[in-house]
């Protein structure tokens, strides 16, 4: 049995579904690596150094290391899954293979919601930088909320990203290669220039010490400051695995390589940003960085250093970096919709490809949903919290899927095998849940409510439209306590709008217990009753 059989829905719904068109395998290692690197280096490098420094001061560097470590842990988990099951939209499919329909839907819809929000947030970053020269794009130059003209401009830019994706994955991969080279060179050049011209070592100790807001500031930088939001872009290579020429070899290398490369770049940028801040900018403390660095943080520092050429380069990059990242996530979101349709969780129309092998309907629907994020009340930082919470929730499904598939699909070739799987999956799962907790109850209650509401709607619709199809509700044995446990700890915890009933330290113990119980139940429980998943005996493309 070949890997293509993984793309076929199973059960009663499979009999009624036409065989989907096959995505074409055209992406090599360099393209996959650049897809992930290009998704990690987007608008975050332009804004996250500021927001992370506001939250944590010099300890923002620690926040980047925590975010990079969390991303690497999860990348190792998905390296095994992506190499063993190289299918398009893998984050929607792995949980479907391991735990069935309901778990696959929850993982897929969480990932999809995060993906469709990323292209709009990249567009917002572009418009925010442009507003320095065109203030009519925003209604408030301090908050940078979009004006009517700003919304119209954003819609045009988002449409352009969708249009580029219509040219096909090979063209997208090649275009992204050159965009990503630019996106690596420019941040490094900016960081080195600021370090050379205006570095002030005293900034790391003179304004409240190296950790002025304590560990809570570091955790806030991870969850809402944009550091984790940036690093989660590694996953885009997984979504493109169905179009990789040698996924078994290249997916693990692309995932791990992209995290290591970009984490080093982001730490360098953060060091340069902190060192380049003037005494005037820090006069009110880290939490109140003065306005001259708020609109375009790095632009303000370059201008203060007298680097006019660097200011111009940053304004050019304010379109290139977010634009390239938006292109990648626009394509990844379409592949995810395609994968959910393969699972039978979206209408079969989402499986249709145009002559270039592009899921056309998925692109159109994702564009329409993305428009919601241009509401006047939305800003770059307000969307980051939502994306960080819901994206890490979707990634948290990886460790249970890996351990379950090690048991139920033991004969599948695994070119990359995670060492000490139970230990590393346990640490990765706990880490993901902890970061969700750090995002705060104010954000988590929205994310969890959306996921629960959509899951109930999914079950209700399936009961009416496909009563013979198995929903694998056995998954509720771990999904229900998982969601309710996370909600309870977040609601009573220390972050966001939490009630602060659970003391610091005890909250982490509770998260560890919840993570251990849920991971054990999800792994040792029975496979979805009556469902023989079409797992291949070989994964050669």
3-state secondary structure 481-521: HHHHHHHHHHHHCCCCCCCCCCCCCHHHHHHHHHHHHHHHH
Please state which architecture CATH assigns to domain 25-372: Up-down Bundle (1.20)
Least confident of 251-265, 335-349, 434-448: 335-349
User: Which two tokens mark 325?
Assistant: 């990242």
Give the tokens for residue 61.
């560097």
Among candidates 166, 174, 469, 190, which has minimal Cα distance to 318?
190
Q: For residue 46, what pLDDT band results from cuts at 50, 70 and 90?
A: confident
Residue 267: φ, ψ to 5°: -65, -40
As a whole number, mean pLDDT of residues 181-188 equals 89
Q: For the chain, what percent of residues have pLDDT higher than 70? A: 85
Q: What are the tens digits of pLDDT across the range 8-38?
A: 444 444 444 444 555 556 667 878 888 888 8
> Domain spans of the chain?
25-372
Give me the percent of the chain exceeding a pLDDT of 90: 21
**Rg, Å, the chain Cα set:** 22
> How would residue 224 be classed by pLDDT, with cut points 50, 70 and 90?
confident
- Name the more confident of 441 and 2: 441
pLDDT at res. 26: 63
First to last CA, the chain: 11
From CA 458, how far away is CA 346, in angstroms rounded? 10
Arithmetic mean of pLDDT, 450-457: 89
Higher-confidence residue of 501 and 323: namely: 501
- Residue 224 in contact with residue 51, Cβ under 8 Å? yes
pLDDT at 541: 35
Residue 260 confidence (pLDDT): 93
Does residue 274 surpass a pLDDT of 90?
yes
Q: What are phi and psi of 106, to 5 degrees?
A: -60, -45
**Cβ distance 42 to 125 under 8 Å?**
yes
pLDDT tens per residue across span 206-215: 888 889 888 8
What is the rounded CA–CA span in Å between residue 85 and residue 26? 17
Nearest to 68 by CA among 314, 182, 234: 234
CA distances from residue 123 to 196, 318, 325 in whole angstroms, order as listed: 31, 10, 10
Nearest residue to 45 (alpha-carbon basis) of 156, 183, 161? 183
Q: What is the dihedral of CA 241, 107, 111, 334, to 10 degrees?
A: 50
Return the pLDDT at 3: 39
281 secondary structure, DSSP code: T
**Would the pLDDT of 467 be above 80?**
no
pLDDT reported for residue 170: 53
User: Is the pLDDT score of 89 beyond 80?
Assistant: no
pLDDT surpassing 90 at residue 399: yes
Q: What is the pLDDT of residue 517?
A: 94
Q: Has residue 511 got a pLDDT over 90?
A: yes
Q: For residue 408, how many other CB atoms are within 10 A of its CB?
A: 16
Can you tell me the mean pLDDT for 114-126? 83
For the cut 60, the answer to whether the pLDDT of residue 295 exceeds it is no
Q: How confident is the model at residue 172 (pLDDT cuts 50, 70, 90)?
A: low
Q: Above 90 in pLDDT, residue 316? A: no
Please tell me which residue, 274 or 318, carries the higher pLDDT value. Answer: 274
Closest CA to 236 of 362, 105, 325: 325
Give the DSSP letter of residue 244: B
**How confident is the model at residue 229, as a pLDDT?**
84
How many whole angstroms separate alpha carbon 359 and alpha carbon 389?
27
Query: Contacts for 109-112 with beta carbons within 8 Å, 24 or more apart?
Result: 109/340, 109/345, 109/451, 109/454, 109/455, 109/458, 110/390, 110/391, 110/393, 110/394, 110/397, 110/447, 110/451, 111/336, 111/391, 111/394, 111/395, 112/333, 112/336, 112/337, 112/340
Residue 143 banded pLDDT, cuts 50, 70, 90: low
Mean pLDDT of the chain: 81
CB atoms within 10 A of CB 61: 23
Return the SS3 of 353: strand
pLDDT at 137: 78
């Amino acid at each position: 049995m070949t890997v293509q059989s993984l793309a076929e829905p199973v059960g009663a719904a499979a009999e009624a579904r036409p065989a989907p068109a096959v995505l074409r395998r055209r992406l090599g290692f360099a393209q996959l690596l650049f897809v992930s690197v290009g998704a990690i280096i987007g608008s975050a490098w332009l804004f996250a150094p500021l927001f992370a420094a506001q939250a944590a001061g010099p300890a923002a560097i620690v926040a980047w290391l925590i975010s990079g470590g969390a991303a690497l842990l999860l990348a190792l988990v998905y390296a095994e899954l992506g190499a063993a099951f190289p299918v398009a939209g893998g984050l929607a499919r792995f949980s479907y293979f391991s735990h069935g329909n309901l778990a696959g839907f929850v993982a897929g819809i969480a990932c999809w919601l995060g993906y469709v929000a990323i292209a709009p947030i990249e567009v917002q970053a572009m418009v925010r930088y442009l507003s320095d020269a065109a203030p009519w794009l925003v209604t408030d130059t301090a908050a940078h909320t979009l004006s009517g003209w700003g919304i119209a401009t954003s819609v045009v830019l988002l449409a352009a990203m969708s249009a580029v994706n219509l040219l096909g994955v090979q063209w997208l991969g090649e275009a992204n290669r050159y965009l990503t080279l630019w996106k690596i060179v420019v941040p490094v050049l900016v960081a080195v220039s600021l370090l050379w011209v205006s570095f002030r070592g005293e900034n790391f100790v003179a304004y409240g010490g190296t950790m002025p807001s304590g560990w809570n500031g570091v955790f806030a930088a991870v969850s809402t400051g944009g550091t984790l939001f940036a690093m989660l872009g590694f996953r885009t290579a997984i979504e493109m695995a169905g179009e990789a020429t040698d996924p078994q070899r290249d997916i693990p290398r692309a995932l791990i390589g992209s995290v290591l490369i970009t984490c080093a770049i982001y730490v360098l940028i953060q060091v340069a940003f902190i060192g380049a801040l003037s005494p005037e900018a820090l006069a009110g403390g880290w939490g109140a960085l003065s306005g001259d660095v708020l609109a375009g943080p790095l632009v303000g520092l370059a201008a203060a250093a007298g680097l006019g050429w660097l200011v111009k380069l940053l304004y050019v990059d304010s379109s290139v970096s977010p634009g390239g990242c938006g292109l990648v996530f626009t394509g990844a979101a379409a592949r995810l919709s395609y994968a959910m349709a393969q699972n039978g969780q979206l209408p079969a129309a989402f499986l249709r490809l145009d002559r270039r092998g592009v899921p056309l309907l998925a692109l159109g629907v994702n564009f329409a949903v993305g428009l919601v994020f241009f509401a006047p009340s939305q800003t770059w930082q307000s969307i980051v919290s939502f994306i960080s919470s819901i994206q890490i929730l979707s990634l948290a499904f990886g460790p249970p899927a890996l351990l379950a598939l090690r048991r139920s699909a033991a004969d599948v070739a695994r070119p990359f095998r995670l060492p000490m799987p139970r230990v590393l999956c346990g640490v990765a799962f706990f880490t993901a849940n902890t970061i969700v907790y750090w995002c705060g109850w104010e954000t988590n209650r929205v994310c969890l409510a959306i996921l629960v509401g959509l899951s109930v709607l999914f079950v209700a619709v399936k009961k009416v439209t496909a009563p013979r199809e198995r929903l694998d509700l056995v998954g509720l044995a771990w999904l229900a306590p998982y969601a309710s446990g996370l909600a309870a700890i977040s609601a009573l915890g220390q972050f966001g709008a939490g009630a602060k009933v659970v003391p610091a330290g005890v909250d982490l113990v509770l998260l560890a217990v919840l993570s251990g119980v849920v991971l054990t139940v999800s792994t040792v429980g029975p496979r979805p009753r009556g469902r023989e998943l079409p797992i291949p005996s070989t994964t050669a493309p």
